[in-house]
Structure 1
Amino acid sequence: MFKNKKKWTVLSSLLVIVALLAACGGGGGGAGNSNANGNNGGSSNPSPNASKEIKLAYVAWDSEIASTNVVREVLEQKLGYKVTMLQVDAGPMWAGISDGSADAMVAAWLPTTHEEYVKMNEGKFEDLGENMSGTKLGFVVPSYMDINSIEDLTDEIGSSLNYTITGIEPGAGIMGTAEKVFEEYGLKDKWTLLESSSAAMTKELERAYAAEEPIVVTGWTPHWKFAKMDLKYLEDPKAVFGQDEKIHTIVRTGLKEDAPEAYAFLDKFNWEAADMEKVMIDIAEGVSPEEAAKTWVDANSDKVDSWLAE
């Protein structure tokens, strides 16, 4: 009798140990488990789950780095998804959503900037509508320059700029539109649209601004450079750059069925230019995109909760 009781006690103890080990190992590793970008999730938030994965495509514009990292933060820390960030040019971004190799983007500038990509991929994606309105793009100069319109890009101004306008990545929609501007305003025979990157463009703008030198760049709003420097858009009388743009959320077909929680959040994601600028300014001042996004999400719980409400 005593012997059987002893065996039962040992067996019970083993079962308790196994249960404790299972509890400690559950939930994807608990609070110490790192997310896809190296941040540690708090114990009050769901841990990223390998079965809940989302691939976000984005272009390396300061605005889209800010918005995509905010979306990543919400998906991972509030909904428990494991997020993969895919930084690509505009063409591959649209192609990735359309062929299903990426799940979503919050970086579609419409109706003008990404118009050609919409036409190329018509019927292969789902447009969830705008996530920000009142955006703008065009040629931008420091306010100290005595020039107000694209039509003012005369030989006198051109010679001081070596007939060069500083652009960004060659695949960006604004670069294609800028080429059309060159044609419409008769600039293509003398002027050069310099291909670079968003970061290189802003660095060159900051250098010229500090020295009060003339410079013309491709620019868009929202962008932190307008908060840091006194800048202005050149008027576009022929409206080649189009009217004010809107940024849309685009997802692959089938995402609603495959990831309903993520789809519902992305469908509700909408914020203001001032919100985005706060994230962009933090990043421009040296804060990592992940930390800047986390700071904004933590400080704007009411807005974030409205995106997640059923």
Structure 2
Amino acid sequence: MRARMLGVLLCLALAQSPAEAADKQVRLAYVEWADAVVATNILKQVLEEKGYQVKTIPLAAAAMWQAVATGDADASVAAWLPLTQAAYYDKLKNRLELIGPNVTGAKIGWAVPAYSSLTSIEDLKTKSAQVEGKVIGIDPGAGVMKTSEAAIKAYGLPVKLVDGSDATMTSALKDAIRQKKDIVVTAWTPHWMFARYELKYLADPKKAFGDDESVNTLARKGLKDDMPEVYAILKKFKLSIKDEEAVMAENEEKGAKPTETAAKWIAANRATVDGWLK
């Protein structure tokens, strides 16, 4: 009987209360762009090393920002600033915390194959026929699409921005390169297509796409107090463009799993990861 009671007491001592269990749950919101998939999977596994239960929540860009602002998500490492997602930041900045960049030297714009005779966005005023009067884009709600529409107006271009997705855009790029044809696609760095293909950005003399961007970490209000360890890791979490693009390219290989490529990167970059956890 005494042994049984000791066993019950031990189980009670080890069991987490609902509040304690909730303290170990972290919700990460992200957009299903190739770079955000890489960063979110790496961060998820790093937090799991520290004993957290991590739920990743794929959302559209606007919904991602909203989820962090309302506290439905604890954090995100997929916020592009100062231009791409400026509208979301301006609307919600008082309801969330911008921790800061996790990737620097990011960029958005229009890209073409390296062999293309096009060198500037202005070239499309007279050479739009080379690309059938089209700029191949991604999902219509994306920041790069809104900026692309503004660029078409700013330059007065006789081209149409074609809605699609990251997958349809890169598929069109692949087909054009295979046939050695001209094509203009909406582009951003980091992206695996720059690791896979020889590409170049079109010059943007009017700065319609702004200067360099950064990919930033967002946190819900109160995270610093509720989860100081998680907050500290988020503050230190940083990736290089080269690393992200390499993992993104791996994710595009047949049969690749983002969880496995993230684990491989963590194993190969243990010193960096340990620095986040100190």
Q: Is TM (by shorter chain) over 0.5?
A: yes
What runs of 5+ residues in structure 2 fail to find an aligned partner? none
Kindly provide the amino acid, as one letter, of the partner of residue 177 in structure 1: T
Alignment of 1:130 onto 2:90: no
In structure 1, distance between residues paired with 2:246 and 2:22: 32
- The one of 181, 185, 191 equivalent to 2:155 is 185
What runs of 5+ residues in structure 1 fail to find an aligned partner? 1-10, 29-48
- The one of 297, 304, 307 equivalent to 2:266 is 297
In structure 2, distance between residues paired with 1:12 and 1:81: 35
In structure 1, distance between residues paired with 2:96 and 2:117: 45
Aligned to 2:171: 203
Alignment of 1:237 onto 2:205: yes
Alignment of 1:277 onto 2:245: yes
Aligned to 1:113: 84
- 1:259, distance to aligned residue in structure 2 (A): 1.5
* Root-mean-square deviation over aligned CA pairs: 2.2
- 1:136, distance to aligned residue in structure 2 (A): 1.1
- 1:81, distance to aligned residue in structure 2 (A): 1.3
In structure 1, distance between residues paired with 2:5 and 2:204: 75
- Contact 1:55-1:103 at 8 Å conserved across structures: yes
Q: Count residues in correspondence.
A: 274
Structure 2 SS opposite 1:154: helix
Aligned to 1:45: none
Aligned to 1:71: 43
Aligned to 1:153: 124
Aligned to 1:31: none
In structure 1, distance between residues paired with 2:213 and 2:55: 27
- Contact 1:60-1:198 at 8 Å conserved across structures: no
The one-character-per-residue Cα deviations of 1:280-304 (angstroms, maximum 9, x if unpaired) are 1210113111111111112111100
Structure 1 SS opposite 2:215: strand
- 1:212, distance to aligned residue in structure 2 (A): 0.9
Aligned to 1:44: none
Aligned to 2:24: 52
* Higher relative contact order (CA closer than 8 Å, sequence separation 6+): 2
Kindly provide the amino acid, as one letter, of the partner of residue 95 in structure 1: Q
